[in-house]
Amino acid sequence: MSDKDWALFKQKLHTKSGINLNDYKPAQMQRRIGNMMSRHGASGYLDFFSKLEANPKLYKDFIDFLTINVTEFFRTPEKFDELEKRVVPDLLKQSAKLSIWSAGCSIGAEPYSLAIMLNELTPHIKHRILATDLDVEMLAKAKQGSYTANELKNIPPARLKKYFAQADGLATISDDIKARIDFQRHNLLVDKFETGFDLILCRNVVIYFTEEAKEGLYRRFFAALKPGGVLFVGGTEAILNFREIGFNHYLPFFYRKPL
């Protein structure tokens, strides 16, 4: 498969989806896409793109595959424990009402986890939680708010009973918690960022981004935070040059913008 075909495939995909594969590590992305192409009998990148255009389900599956929509409530529970017991209480000392952004929210498990946590910590205050993702199909699922047992495995039974209604093998989150989330489509690599956030979560999103794309993203997150605000990243996404960007190290995988 030629470099020319790969370049044309990237161009066509960018036009169709808004996803710019130039911001992703080429070797890893070509390997992942190549595996999917083999499964669907594509002879090359352009043949595969023709299949994507002809088959809406395959196209949806491909976008899901690219955007790595794997998530669950309170993912990495020990880090959420730190968030609940230390990070958020520290932020509440600065501001009674928090502005939070869940970037790359997928099916909504992360922002709903935040809303549940905040309801427990500050039951009479409604904080702002912005939840964004590139994938409109994932956002639709997030707004629906219905989940399988596996997606809910980290939720203690008392919280599960309090915040979810069970029916037909799914658990649907309460309307009160749903109303606390502002879901929006957003491309992290292209679209403008809001500012004034106390907390930004971007976890398990940038794993295939180039180093240049990551650094640009983290600098934009830094600018989007209030002084004293915190960026929370995934367990394989430590920011090695956090001091150069301007952050202080706060806790493992938590970075703070100086006051």
Domain covering 3-67, topology: Chemotaxis Receptor Methyltransferase Cher; domain 1 (1.10.155)
Measured between alpha carbons, how far is 239 from 214 in angstroms, rounded to an integer?
9
Instruction: Return the pLDDT at 204.
Output: 84
pLDDT digits (tens, 9 = 90+) for 177-228: 999 999 999 999 999 999 999 999 999 888 878 989 999 999 999 999 999 9
3-class DSSP state of 47: helix
Residues 6 or more apart from 168 whose CB is under 8 A from it? none
Q: Where are the domains of the chain?
A: 3-67, 77-256
Q: How many CB atoms lie within 10 A of CB 63?
A: 20
Residues 162-174: what's their mean pLDDT? 93
| Angstrom distances, CA of residue 160 to CA of 45, 61, 201, 219 | 45, 30, 23, 37
pLDDT digits (tens, 9 = 90+) for 40-65: 999 999 999 999 999 988 988 888 77
**CA 135 from centre of chain:** 10
Residues 6 or more apart from 4 whose CB is under 8 A from it? none
Residue 253, φ and ψ in degrees, nearest 5: 75, 10
Could you say which architecture CATH assigns to the domain 77-256? 3-Layer(aba) Sandwich (3.40)
